[in-house]
Copies of this chain bind each other. A is one copy, B any other.
Amino acid sequence: MENFIFNIPTKAFFGKGQLDNLAAGIKEFGGSRVLLAYGGGSIKSNGIYQAVLEQFSKAGIFHVELSGIKPNPPIEDVYEGIRIYKENNLNFIVAVGGGSALDAAKAIAAGAKYDGDVFDLISGKVAVTNAAPLATVLTMAGTGSEMDMGGVITVGEEHKKYAILHPLLNPKFSILDPEYTYTVPTHHTMAGCSDILSHLMEQYLRPDEDAEVSDRMNEGVMKVVFDNAPKLLQNPQDYNARANIMWASSMALAGFQFMSGKKFGAFPVHAMGHELSSLNDMTHGITLALITPAWIRYTLKVAPQYTPMFARFARNVFGVTETDDTKAALMGIEQLEGFYQAIGMPSRMGDAGVEESQLEYLAEKATEFGDIGTMSPINKAEALEIYTMAW
């Protein structure tokens, strides 16, 4: 087992009515002048916005709003948030929404305490050394941004995605009320489940066979996703299923997976998926469902020494009883594909609107900063092969 550092600085208030802890939490971390960041207007129609304002009002908390943060949040929204934060002499950020609002808020938190262009931090040219304190109120499960240290920001005409990562960007606390996700459309709920699953798989399907604690915990959370996503297809108001999916989202990226030698590094499926989103604004979770099976088949071919790991995935998560590793690994992929199909994910990139002529461009962009991959390096030619398999 490799060395690791374990650190989960975010506190979570989980369950019905936990928004009641918002104002006290802000004050505990010294907040009195708040940037309230959110996306579209849905939080106004479902009552969350009003409840947040009640919290502010009762506690005498001043706030200014940044509304309309867009999906796959663009750096322009981040600039606007930083401007508002600085101009109004604010000292705390509350992000309400799904991954987009939360990710944008993290970049704003970093930029609010930086004198230069926040792109320096987003691109990794300059390391984050300070950040405004942040709390989140989650309204959609999937990205794990509510408990992790990262955010993904879209930059430029080509919609390139950059991940800004630093423990200072972990929310101080997160309010996780599963009822807030009742109104998320089924299609997006299922894309969120695909995202959670990908976070778990990208950390589980990696070298270091000996990291048994995190591997067994990871298998457990994967099973929760496989068991509960179908329940939400049947009944979107199933509280326990909403709660289990929301907490699976938080646990998947909180940090107990990264340790045990599983260093936070390249998430190759995410890297390739991001290019699909950049190209045609495809929903993040869908891109992951499209790429993952192809990536596994490709890895089995070029790095067959990891076949036992994929076989273990099939056995421990799906209950495959086949004793031959290669056969078991393939049965695991089939189970995974069956799950994606059951929750309404498209199974081919071609069906999802991608042209074959675009694949080379995707492969070029996915590897433009160097090889990606974990068990085997993936350069442009190899990325093209994976995209082609998925197309």
A interface list, Cβ under 8 A from B: 1-9, 11-18, 178, 210, 212-213, 215-221, 223-224, 227-228, 239-240, 243-244, 247-248, 250-251, 256, 259-260
Contact = CB atoms under 8 A, between A and B. Distances in A.
A224 B216 contact: yes
A17 B4 CA distance: 11
9 contacts: A1-B247, A3-B14, A4-B14, A210-B244, A212-B224, A212-B240, A213-B247, A217-B220, A256-B256
A243 B259 CA distance: 12
Contact of A5 (B13, B212, B213): B13
A216 B223 contact: yes
Contact of A213 (B11, B212, B216, B244): B244
A237 to B, nearest CB: 14
Given A1-B15, A251-B256, 11 more contacts: A1-B178, A1-B247, A2-B15, A6-B12, A7-B11, A210-B240, A212-B227, A213-B244, A216-B220, A216-B224, A217-B251
B11 A5 contact: yes
Contact of A240 (B1, B5, B14, B248): B1
A5 B14 contact: yes
Contact of A15 (B3, B11, B217, B239): B3
Given A217-B220, A220-B220, A239-B1, A244 B212 contact: yes
Nearest to A248: B213
A251 B213 contact: yes
A305 B8 CA distance: 37
Contact of A221 (B16, B213, B240, B248): B213
A96 to B, nearest CB: 20
Contact of A220 (B2, B3, B16, B213): B213
B239 A212 contact: no
Contact of A14 (B12, B210, B244, B259): B259
Residue of A2, A3, A178, A239 with most chain B CB atoms under a 10 A cut-off: A3
A148 to B, nearest CB: 14
Contacts of A228: 212
Contacts of A7: 11-12
A219 B18 CA distance: 28
Residue of A12, A213, A239 with most chain B CB atoms under a 10 A cut-off: A213
Residue of A178, A216, A219 with most chain B CB atoms under a 10 A cut-off: A216
Complex A-B, nearest 3 residue pairs according to Cβ-Cβ distance, in ascending order: A3-B15, A216-B220, A6-B12
Contact of A247 (B221, B239, B244, B260): B260
